[in-house]
A and B are shown apart, each in its own frame.
Chain A
Amino acid sequence: MKLNVNGRERDVEVPEDTPLLWVLRDELQLTGTKFGCGIAQCGACTVHLDGRPVRSCMTAVGKVGEAKVTTIEGLSGRVTDAIQGAWHEIDVPQCGYCQSGQVMSAVALLTKSAKPSDADIEAAMKGNVCRCATYHRIRQAIRNASDSLEG
């Protein structure tokens, strides 16, 4: 089966119902995408399919088709720089384990709407659990990144 991951064509031999998460982690050694729940409840496994955030733990690899898969390792561009810069600026991560997923969701949000309201932020980030509860800084960092993109 062929997959387009981070701009590269990859060949994998796995059953079609294998979740994309485990193809990325166990077959392609792209370990930045994390496992937290396996049932689309925590967002640790968030990747982009054609720029859209999806939970890779519940995305069968057979359903990916031609869609371009982007993982945390393959993120780039203006919005990514703004988000990661904002994350650095106020030291968002604690244990860090959820943060790949948080960054993926935040980049997708700001790509779609550069000036999200607080309600937009909550709606976009609600699926990403952080057991360290870094939410306060996540909210702030998204606002800061949004401001920096405007400036």
Chain B
Amino acid sequence: MSNDRLDTTLSRRQFLHSTAAAGAGLVLGVHLPAKLSHAAATDAASGPFSPNAFIRITPDDIVTVIVKHIEFGQGPLTGLATLVAEELDADWGQVRGELAPADVTRFAHTLGPVQFTGGSTAMANSFMQMRKAGAAARAMLVEAAAAEWGVPVASVTVDAGRVKEIAGSRSKRFGELVAAASRLSPPTEVTLKKPEDFKLIGTHVPKLDTPSKTNGEAIYTIDVQRPGLLTALVAHPPRFGGKVKKLDDTKARQVAGVEDVKILPEGVAVYARGYWAAKQGRDRLDIEWDEAHAETRDSERVITEYRELAQEPGLPAGRRGDPDAALASAKTVIESEYVFPFLAHAPMEPLDCVIEKQGDRYEVWMGAQGASRDHTALADELGVPLEQVQLNIQLAGGSFGRRAQHKSQFAREAAHALQAIDGRAPIKLLWSREDDIRGGFYRPIYVHRLKGGLDADGKIVAWQQVIVGQSVQKGGALETMFIKDGVDLTSVEGAANLSYAVPNLDVSLHSPELGVPVLWWRSVGHTHTGYTSETFIDELLTAGGQDPVTGRLALLAEHPRHRAVLTAAAEMADWGSAPPEGRARGVAVHESFGTLVAQVAEVGRDAKGSPKVERVWCAVDCGLAVNPDIVKAQMEGGIGFGLGAALTGEITLAAGRVVQSNFHDYRPIRIDDMPHVEVRVLPSAKPPSGVGEPGVPPIAPAVSNAWAALTGNRFRRLPFRGARA
């Protein structure tokens, strides 16, 4: 999912401004919104101390941090808890994490009045908020202890989970102060630590969710049990845009365990005791589909149409100098066309939702990435005020963007499925892997056409790029934010703002419509622009007789952070040295979501003669790394995820039907294709930026560039191991 990049940048500037103004002390005025401090008063002496919406401390000394961003592997549970623990001076062993429910009044994103996770913004938007929350709780514990001991607050400190007198010997556990602290009002101003005093931030604290994710105890949506629960499977139309015309459910109803069959706006739902019966029932449905408005094209035909469109310039998206004149007078002109397929996200846990009617209220369990949007959609569909829907955000088995839908289509399907049986039993709506692979909301097909010009000295003087592909924002919740003058900024990010100092540039965009639903996919526009920018610059540099690393560095004079990661990755890979026999190295550097990543890939050939990536060196600058090990893990994962898509990821349509159906033909990367990865996290004092997505864009071009160095051939069509590569 993407976010408003401009606002992120803005808030970073504001942050830097406050930091600078505060000088060495980093003293910030903090106003926790009234609603955040509503829980301050707890009467019962044994009750918890909840100084704000994000923290609960109980008499048993446990500090529970309420995390407003969904956890699907990218690490906010641990990361955000670390921020609180740091300022609270808690001992890491006493800290727990808990996902916040959907409640936009308490858990909105700092970018606006919505609760969501996306655009790799979780850490950036929580960095100050969670630290302030921790500092406020600390101040209240100190105040409570000082009052009890009859000493000034300045003589009391907190260290590793104990509140103590600085000069004296008295000390108390957090739990012993819960009752007294609960009677205090939260401070309006708090002092935050200086970075040099950090004890947890910047270190490797063990992840809070590792134990339960290693012994099977972690509960995901699919694991939620309710008394009398029915599993619901929905038969969806085989072509996008199809509708149910006629249904014969006789055979389905004969399956033991099948309780009901209903027509929904989305298809036909089979309700059964357990998944297996539901699946048996669904397999026996006899449905005639109305496909009058369905998409019936082949994906190959779509690509042909896009290639034709790419012959002509589209809407202007980025321009420098006079590219036409520069191309006309260039000594050498290189032209190249790239084709990118549809990609499914295929998170490991298929889409699922548990939904239950409880009198005039509803309770829902779901890995909702766009939490407040899904919450509103559910209330809408169920016809009740928001307050009557409790949406519990569950741990999710991956997402990669799939669980954040503009119009909450999946949440609506769950509501429809419950309503169709009048809420008489709680249901677990579960998509099979086939539903997932064939369910649309793909990374769109894109075609890029590029023209580059070199002068007589081999210097790059012109760059012209036409991009063709569906907009993932059109008609969506963020349309007005992202589509400017017809140009979807997320279709051209990473291209229109090419970092290289090419004096004459022209980037334009066609956004044709297609009856296939599309969505952001881990790193959004950078999934394709990162590839074209980084392989085409490589091609031009090579044509001009330049080294891929030094050539890039020379064009990045204005971009010191690019230069730093590129230099680091080249150094890690010992770029100048000869690679082992039968291998070559390629490089790519790309900025996305405020984070800079450079990767060098060392590539050989596998038994079938296709690329085999042996090693990857990765350097990342994501500002201050709150948990460097999580940053590394996200780079490793991003590399594997991006590499898998580049090698074999491809969804195709035959007469509108999705050809692939499961992991045997939509092939994910497996352990034997995972390279050895080394990651270096560059030190930085800048505020943190995201790491969930930025590891993805550089890997495909780095591998492609290595392949070109090895074989002289460039991959212009993805995936590399696809039939048409």
Residue numbers of A with Cβ under 8 A of B are 14-15, 18-19, 22, 25-27, 29, 31-39, 41-42, 44, 71-73, 75, 84, 87-88, 91-100, 103, 121-122, 125-126, 128-139
Question: CA separation between A31 and B662, bound complex, in Å?
Answer: 22
Which residues of chain B are near A139, meaning CB under 8 Å?
671, 674
A-B contact count (CB 8 A): 179
Query: A72 touches which one: B215, B274, B398, B671 (CB < 8 A)?
Result: B215
The CA of A126 and the CA of B674, in the complex, are separated in Å by: 11
Which one, B146-154, B161-169, B205-213, is touching chain A? Answer: B205-213
B360 proximal to A (CB < 8 A): no
Residues of B within 8 A of A73 (CB): 215-216
CA of A18 to CA of B348 in the docked complex: distance in angstroms?
22
A selection of 5 A-B contacts at a CB cut-off of 8 Å is: A31-B216, A88-B206, A93-B213, A130-B640, A132-B640
Number of B residues, CB within 8 Å of A = 64
Given the complex, which residues of B lie within 8 Å of A131, measured CB to CB?
Answer: 346-348, 398, 400, 641, 668
Q: Does B102 contact A (CB under 8 A)?
A: no
Taken residue by residue from 629 to 647, chain B's Cβ proximity to chain A (1 for < 8 Å, 0 otherwise) reads as: 1100100111111011000
Chain A residue at minimum C-beta to C-beta distance from B212 = A96
Contact A132 B213, beta carbon cutoff 8 Å: no
Q: Tell me the bound Cα distance from A14 to B644 in angstroms.
A: 39
- How long is the Cα–Cα vector from A58 to B615 in the complex, in angstroms? 35
B595 within 8 A of A: no
Given that A34-B349, A122-B672 are contacting pairs, would A18 and B637 also be in contact in the complex, using a CB cutoff of 8 Å?
no
Which residues, 646 to 682 on B, are CB-close (under 8 Å) to A?
Answer: 662-664, 668-672, 674-677
CB of A113, distance to nearest CB on chain B (Å) = 17
Contact of A97 among B397, B644, B676 (CB under 8 A): B397
B275 within 8 Å of A by Cβ? yes
A91 touching B633, Cβ below 8 Å:
yes
Is B220 in contact with chain A by the CB < 8 A criterion?
Answer: yes
Answer whether residue B218 sits at the interface, using C-beta atoms and an 8 A cutoff. Answer: yes
Interface assignment of B315: CB less than 8 Å from any CB of chain A: no
Contacts of A15 in B (CB 8 A): 256
Instruction: Determine if B350 is an interface residue (Cβ-Cβ < 8 Å).
Output: yes
Contact of A29 among B225, B433, B669 (CB under 8 A): B225
Partner of B636, one of A25, A26, A87, A137: A137
**Residue among B348, B669, B670 with most chain A CB within 10 A:** B348
Contact status of A132 and B216, CB under 8 A, knowing A22-B276, A88-B210, A95-B348? no
> Do A91 and B274 touch (CB < 8 A)?
no
User: Which residues of A sit under 8 angstroms from B641, Cβ to Cβ?
Assistant: 131-133
CA of A133 to CA of B640, assembled, Å:
5
Chain B 199-239, CB-CB to A under 8 Å as 1, else 0, gives 00000001101111111111110110100000100000000
Contacts of B72 in A (CB 8 A): 94-95
A36 contacts which of B273, B433, B677 (Cβ < 8 Å)? B433
6 nearest CB pairs, A to B: A32-B216, A133-B640, A97-B397, A96-B213, A94-B73, A95-B73
Q: Which residues of chain A are near B638, meaning CB under 8 Å?
A: 133
What 9 new A-B contacts, CB under 8 Å, besides A38-B433, A72-B215, A99-B213?
A: A32-B216, A71-B216, A93-B214, A95-B349, A96-B213, A97-B398, A131-B641, A133-B641, A134-B640
Contacts A26-B276, A96-B397, A137-B633; A122 near B671 (Cβ below 8 A):
yes
**Selected contact of B629 from candidates A91, A97, A133, A136, CB within 8 Å:** A91
Q: Flag if B636 contacts A91 (CB, 8 Å).
A: no
Select from chain A the residue with minimum beta-carbon distance to B674: A135
**Contact between chains at A19 and B276 (CB < 8 Å):** yes
Determine whether B142 belongs to the interface, using a CB cutoff of 8 Å to chain A: no
Establish whether residues B433 and A133, one from each chain, have CB atoms under 8 Å apart when the complex forms.
no
* A18 (CB) vs chain B CBs: closest residue: B276
Residues of A within 8 A of B689 (CB): none
A96-B73 in contact (CB<8A): yes
B432 touching A38, Cβ below 8 Å: yes
Per the bound structure, the CA–CA distance linking A126 and B667 in Å amounts to 12
A129 touches B636 (CB 8 A): no
Q: Evaluate contact between A129 and B349: CB separation under 8 angstroms.
A: no
Evaluate contact between A130 and B210: CB separation under 8 angstroms.
no
CB-defined interface of B248-269 with A at 8 Å, one 1/0 digit per residue?
Answer: 0000000010000000000000
* CB-contact partner of B662 in A14, A34, A41, under 8 A: A41
Contact between B348 and A26, CB atoms less than 8 A apart: no
CA distance A5 to B637 in the complex (A): 34
CA distance A92 to B636 in the complex (A): 11
Contact of B396 with A by CB under 8 A? yes
Complex Cα spacing A125 to B673, Å: 12
Residue of A nearest to B222 (CB): A35
Write the nearest CB–CB distance from B525 to chain A, whole angstroms.
21
Question: Are the CB atoms of A97 and B220 closer together than 8 Å?
Answer: yes
**B327 within 8 Å of A by Cβ?**
no
Asked whether, in the complex, the Cβ of B225 is within 8 Å of the Cβ of A36, the reply is: no
Question: Whole-angstrom distance between the alpha carbons of A132 and B207 in the complex?
Answer: 16
Q: Are B210 and A92 in contact (CB under 8 A)?
A: yes
Interface pair A35/B629, CB less than 8 Å apart: no
User: Are A129 and B663 in contact, CB atoms less than 8 angstroms apart?
Assistant: yes
Is A33 within 8 A of B668, CB to CB?
no
Check if B390 is an interface residue, CB within 8 A of chain A: no
Which of A22, A29, A91, A138 meets B210, CB within 8 Å? A91
* Chain B hits for A87, CB < 8 A: 210, 214
Query: Are A95 and B256 touching (Cβ within 8 A)?
Result: no
Report the Cα distance A3→B262, complex, angstroms: 35
Q: What CA separation (Å) do A37 and B664 show in the bound complex?
A: 9
B633 in contact with A94 (CB, 8 Å): yes
Tell yes or no: B504 within 8 A of A by CB. no
Chain B's closest residue to A25 (CB) is B275
Residue in A closest to B629 when the chains form the complex, CB atoms: A91
Q: Does B395 count as interface, using CB distance less than 8 angstroms?
A: yes
Interface presence of B52 (CB below 8 A): no
Given that A41-B664, A91-B633, A136-B636 are contacting pairs, would A36 and B206 also be in contact in the complex, using a CB cutoff of 8 Å?
A: no
Q: Quick one: which of B398, B629, B676 contacts A95, CB cutoff 8 A?
A: B398
Q: Give the docked Cα–Cα distance between A1 and B309 (Å).
A: 63
Q: B74 on the interface (CB 8 Å rule)? A: yes
A132 in complex: contacting residue of B73, B231, B662, CB < 8 Å = B73
Min Cβ gap B98→A in Å is 16
Q: Which of B214, B396, B637, B672 contacts A84 (CB 8 A)?
A: B214
Is B209's CB under 8 angstroms from A93's CB?
yes
- State whether A36 touches B670 (Cβ < 8 A): no
In the complex, what residues of B have CB within 8 A of residue A99's CB?
Answer: 213-214
Is B397 touching A95 in the complex (CB atoms < 8 A)?
A: yes
A10 to chain B, nearest CB (A): 16
Residues of B within 8 A of A36 (CB): 348-350, 433, 663
On whether the beta carbons of A138 and B256 are closer than 8 Å, the reply is no
Question: In the complex, A22 Cα to B277 Cα: how many Å?
Answer: 10
Q: Which residues of B contact A84 (CB under 8 A)?
A: 214-215
> How far, in angstroms, from A92 to B346 measured CA to CA in the complex?
20
- CB contacts (< 8 Å) of A96 on chain B: these are 73, 209, 212-214, 218, 395, 397
Give Cα A121 to B432, complex, Å: 29
Bound: A97/B668 CA distance, A: 15
Is there contact, CB below 8 Å, between B350 and A39? no
Given contacts A26-B274, A26-B275, A34-B397, A97 and B433 within 8 Å (CB-CB) = no
A97–B398 CA distance with the chains assembled, in angstroms? 8
What 1/0 mask marks residues of chain B from 174 to 218 whose CB sits below 8 Å from any chain A CB? Answer: 000000000000000000000000000000001101111111111
Chain A hits for B671, CB < 8 A: 121-122, 125-126, 128, 135, 138-139
